[in-house]
A and B are shown apart, each in its own frame.
Chain A
C-alpha cells in the first residue's frame, strides 16, 4: 500500500470523527525548474498527463467506454499540479507568488545547470530560506557538484529535504520521487494541522469550562431570585388591602424572602471579591497560617456544635496564593463539615502536606455520613444543596472555582473508607506560568 492510500484512509477517518473540524486538504503542487523548455515540458507530461489518458475511476459508468487500454496495476495515474520555470528569476517569482497565495509547492525538480550565474542549488538554498518545508530533487547531467558539497552547502537542517537524480532520467523514477516527497510533505503538514487544531480545541474547552461555571452560577441565581421575588411581589400584592394581622404575616414572609436574597448576595460578594482578587498579584504565604485563621474564625460555631479540630499533619511550606480566597475555601469546607455532622458531636481532621517539590495537599475530613456515591459530582455544582433553606449550594462550587481556576490546583472529594467525607485540595506552590 502506498503512502497516499494510507494517508487518504487517515483523513477519511478523521472526517468521520468530526465534521466540525476543518479537514486538511492534500496539495500536489510541484515546481519544475529547467532552462530547456522541452525538458520542463517532459516533466509536466509525465507528472500531469493530459486528461484523456486518465483511466476513469468508475468504469461502471454508463455510456460508451473509452477505447483506451486499461493501465497496468501500479501504474494508476496520479495527477500532480505542475508549474514550470525556465530561469532562476522565474522560479523565484512563481515560488513567492505561491507562498503569498497560501498554496506552497510541496516539492520541486531543479536542474543544477541554469545557465550562467547562480545554479539550481543556489536557488534551492534561497527557496528553503523562505520555506524550509519544500522538498528538492536536483537533476543533473554532469557531476559538477558532489553530493557531499550540496549537503554542506544547504546545511544540516535541510539534509532530509533534498535528493538528486542523474540525467537521463526515466519517467518511472520521476513519478516515484514526486509521489514520495508529495506524500511525505502532506503527511507532515497534516500532522501539524492536527496539532494546531488539537491545541485550539483544548484551549476552547478550558475557556468554555470557565464560562460554564460562571453561567451555571448565573442561571442558578436567576432561578433563585425569580422564586424569591415571586414571594415578595405576591405577598405584597395579595395583602396590601388586607386587615392588619394578615398584612403583618405577609410582611414577615417578605422579610424572610428578602433575607434569603441577601444571603445569596453575600455569597456572591465573596465570589466576586475573590474574582477581583484574581487580578491582584498573589503573595507568598503559609497555608497552615490561613487554616489556623479559618479555625479561629469558626471557633464559636465549632464549639457550639461540639466539633473537635485535629491536626493530622502541618507542614510549614510557602505557596503563592490569595490569602482571602484560600481562607474562604477553608471556611466553606468547615461550614459544610459542621453541617454534615449536625446533631452529633464530631471531629474535623486537617492535614497540610508538602507532596512534592512543586505541590502541597490540604485534606479536610469530617466524620459525618459522607456523600452518596451518585451525588459526588453534583455536590460540586453551583446551587446543589442538601441544606434546604439554610444553604445556597454555592459553597463547594466557589471552593472549586478558587482552587482550580484561581490557583491552577485540583479539588476532589471522596468518602473516607472508614467514615465521613474527605475533601482533597492540591495546590501548586506556584502556577507554572508565574515561574521565572
Chain B
C-alpha cells in the first residue's frame, strides 16, 4: 500500500474510520488514541456483522478499517474477506489487530491472501498506531 515517497499526500484527518473490537475496553482505548492523534471521525462496532453493515453503508463511505482478529462468531479475517469480495470496497485499507504472536506466521499467510494492509499486535502504543495509519493511507508525516 505504501506509495513512493514523493507521492505522499497530506493527511486528511476527517476520513471516516471504522474500529471493530468485541472488547469494549480495547475499543475505548484505541478510540482515545485516534482522537489524540487527531482522527475524530471514528465509528465503532462490537462485532463483524455490525461492522460489515457500516462498511456497506453508501452514506458513510468508510475510508479505513481497524479490526480485531479474535472475535467470537465472526472473526476479523471473515470480515476482511467480505470486504475484499465486495467490488465497491475491495480496495478499502484494512488494518488487522491481533494478540496472537505465536500464530503470527500462519495468520500472516492467511491474511496476505486477502491483502491485509498492516498489522498491529496488542498491546500497542499511540505512536505505532499513528505510523501504521499514515503508512497505509500514504500520508505525509508531519515530521518530514
A residues adjacent to B (C-beta < 8 A): 218-219, 222-223, 225-227, 229-235, 237-238, 253, 257
Contacts and interface: CB of A to CB of B under 8 A. Distances in A.
A229 B123 contact: yes
B100 A234 contact: no
A219 B100 contact: yes
A157 to B, nearest CB: 54
Residue of A225, A234, A253 contacting most chain B CB atoms (<10 Å): A234
A234 B34 CA distance: 11
B102 A230 contact: no
A230 B101 contact: no
Contacts of A237: 33, 125-126
Given A238-B29, A238-B32, A232 B123 contact: yes
A227 B33 contact: no
Given A222-B102, A257-B25, A227 B36 contact: no
Interface of B: 23, 25-26, 28-30, 32-33, 36, 70, 98-103, 121-126
Contacts of A229: 122-123
A396 B104 CA distance: 28
Nearest to A260: B25
A230 B32 contact: no
B26 A230 contact: yes
A226 B122 contact: yes
Contacts of B28: 231
B122 A227 contact: yes
A235 B29 contact: yes
B25 A231 contact: yes
Contacts of B33: 234, 237-238
Contact of A227 (B26, B32, B126): B26
Residue of A218, A225, A229, A231 contacting most chain B CB atoms (<10 Å): A231
Given A225-B99, A232-B123, 18 more contacts: A218-B102, A219-B100, A219-B103, A222-B99, A222-B100, A222-B101, A222-B102, A223-B70, A226-B98, A226-B100, A227-B122, A229-B123, A230-B29, A230-B30, A231-B29, A234-B29, A234-B33, A253-B25
Contacts of B25: 227, 230-231, 253, 257
Residue of B29, B98, B102, B126 contacting most chain A CB atoms (<10 Å): B29
Contacts of B123: 226, 229-230, 232-234
Contacts of B98: 226
Contact of B125 (A218, A223, A233): A233
22 contacts: A218-B102, A219-B103, A222-B100, A222-B101, A223-B70, A223-B100, A225-B99, A227-B23, A227-B25, A227-B99, A230-B26, A230-B30, A231-B25, A231-B26, A232-B123, A233-B123, A233-B124, A234-B29, A234-B123, A234-B125, A235-B29, A238-B33
